Amino acid sequence: MKLSVIIPVYNERNTIQEILRRVRRVDLGDMERELVVVDDGSTDGTRDILSMEADSTTKIILHETNKGKGAALRTGLANATGDLIIFQDADLEYDPDEYPRLIEPVLKGKAEVVYGSRFTGERRNMLFWHYVGNRLLVLITNILYNTTLSDMETCYKLFTRKSLEGIEIKSNRFDVEPEITAKILKKKIRIYEVPISYTGREIEEGKKISWRDGIPALWALIKYRFVD
């Protein structure tokens, strides 16, 4: 089997080399790995670093302009060839050493889609209003889609290739998270959750998502409940 790790990148020159190092060192046993790095129009020197990182297992794809996380994930999915696919942010908030924990339920036949929950594992506490926004979006997800997720906005989403068949991502920005969750749940696929650790960044450390992104996320949850 092969694991494709899709890494959307935008202005992450301080962390990109370290996250690539961590992803490459994860012990996956006999499983192959493929890194699909999509630079979404970085202007801070990230591209200069990435130009030295391409190798036989690492694809570097460049967007000429910044289009948003959803657009970068869409490009990554179009270029991924793995049997399993996981999303990985380019910062250091999530620990790639936890990949085996997400992969295990799939290998045991328990799941087709696995989310890593930041709210059931150890974590550096996030900002209060980020927490409130996350809780609200999770509650609305559970009401609209008859599920019991604890963390819909998590970066760590692992999919079998089959589970993504027929899903077309339309969102270009951070509303990609609720969109893909909605479309998975509408396929009647139950999402399996495992606890993960989380070391959240602050705004001054480069965190890009804000409370304003909660509004399109909420709209996406409602919209994709009733349209494809």
> What sign does the CA torsion over 213, 216, 219, 221 have?
negative
Q: What pLDDT score does 126 carry?
A: 66
> Could you give the CA distance from residue 21 to residue 160 in angstroms, rounded to a whole number?
24
- Give mean pLDDT in consecutive 10-residue pieces for the chain, a chain of 228 residues: 98 97 97 98 97 96 97 98 98 96 98 95 67 88 96 96 96 93 97 92 53 81 90
Q: What pLDDT score does 124 carry?
A: 61
Q: What pLDDT score does 210 carry?
A: 56
Q: What pLDDT score does 132 carry?
A: 84
Domains of the chain, each with CATH number or no CATH: 2-226 (3.90.550.10)
Bridge partners of residue 7, in order along the sequence = 37
Bridge partners of residue 160, in order along the sequence = 84
Q: What pLDDT score does 200 carry?
A: 73
Tally Cβ neighbours within 10 Å of residue 189.
Answer: 17
Asked if residues 76 and 49 have their Cβ atoms less than 8 Å apart, the reply is no
